[in-house]
């Protein structure tokens, strides 16, 4: 077991007996290795603007999908002299991986993706920043996250599903407990500056969600334009377009030689191909203990 005094501050992370992939741990939460205490502190001090819109989710819950909807609706631009390939996320940059100083060059309104918990988000009491939050059922999140972690170069892990599901249930995955994360945002669902959506609802009726998102960010779409956006943001359309997923950053984030596709399946119910009866019983017990009585629940099969 590595002790606190020997934890590296270089952003390379460390492994322990408890968590056998490279990670950092800040304020009790597991993060990807580059998320050092200093980096998280810098993100918390980020200077927001009144027009900023943050696109938020727990990892593997539909962030990339929502970001593409924003691209099709709002047509955000890159900073002058900067190409989309230079910054992960391009016109909708990923907050945790981009140099905060680079975000100064983005024209307003800025649309920024993040997986940060509510309590760690930068805030300025004078700025009514907007938040688009998408939540996905935790069984499918767990499966998608498992595949993602196995190909990430920086965490250096290729463990089994049985090992991984223990991490997920105990909150020892990047960004910590799924339940802590979504409940932190769910508590603010009535805030007029937060639009809380479910991945499964978007799968069932993308068109109505496109219209809802457009209205929330102050964009007026005709019915024809809304239909165009919905078609462009279907899973099949996005998977076929190399510019709409993180595979274009393959050399930066995947293990060398990986053939993994970021747009893997995008379905509801893939969890049933992974959970054993015993794992599902333990998982469902946790689900009930954390979400019962909160008013939030999920569909697990399409």
Q: Which residues are marked as active site? A: 115
Structure tokens at 275: 């959970």
Q: Is the peptide bond before 109 cis (omega within 30 degrees of 0)?
A: yes
**Distances from the Cα of 223 to the Cαs of 64, 72, 238, 247, in angstroms?**
23, 14, 21, 31
Calpha distance 199→1 (Å, rounded): 38
CA atoms within 13 A on the CB side of 228: 8
CB count in 10 Å sphere of residue 59 = 18
Residue 26 is inside which H or E element, if any? strand 24-26
Calpha distance 51→95 (Å, rounded): 16
Per DSSP, the residues of 60-82 read: TSSHHHHHHHHHHHH---PPTT-
**Distances from the Cα of 246 to the Cαs of 11, 249, 276, in angstroms?**
21, 5, 30
């Amino acid at each position: 077991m590595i002790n606190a005094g020997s934890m590296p501050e270089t952003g390379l992370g460390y492994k322990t007996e408890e968590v056998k992939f490279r990670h950092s741990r800040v304020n009790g939460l597991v993060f990807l290795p580059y998320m050092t205490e200093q980096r998280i502190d810098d993100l918390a001090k980020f200077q927001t603007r009144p027009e900023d819109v943050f696109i938020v989710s727990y990892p593997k819950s539909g962030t990339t999908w929502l970001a593409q909807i924003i691209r099709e609706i709002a047509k955000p631009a890159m900073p002058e002299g900067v190409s989309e390939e230079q910054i992960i996320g391009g016109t909708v940059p990923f907050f945790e991986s981009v140099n905060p100083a680079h975000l100064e060059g983005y024209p307003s309104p800025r649309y920024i993706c993040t997986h940060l918990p509510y309590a760690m988000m930068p805030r300025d009491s004078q700025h009514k920043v907007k938040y688009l939050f998408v939540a996905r059922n935790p069984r499918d999140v767990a499966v998608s996250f498992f595949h993602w972690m196995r190909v990430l170069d920086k965490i250096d892990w290729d463990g089994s599903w049985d090992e991984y599901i223990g991490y997920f249930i105990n909150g020892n995955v990047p960004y910590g407990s799924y339940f802590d994360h979504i409940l932190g945002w769910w508590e603010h669902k009535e805030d007029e500056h937060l639009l809380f959506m479910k991945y499964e609802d978007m799968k069932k009726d993308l068109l109505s969600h496109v219209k809802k998102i457009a209205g929330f960010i102050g964009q007026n779409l005709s019915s024809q334009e809304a239909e165009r956006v919905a078609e462009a943001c279907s899973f099949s359309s996005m998977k076929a377009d190399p510019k709409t997923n993180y595979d274009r950053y393959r050399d930066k984030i995947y293990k060398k030689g990986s053939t993994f596709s970021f747009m893997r399946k995008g379905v509801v119910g893939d969890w049933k191909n992974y959970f054993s009866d015993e794992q599902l019983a333990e998982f469902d017990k946790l689900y009930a203990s954390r979400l019962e009585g909160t008013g939030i629940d999920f569909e697990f099969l399409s």
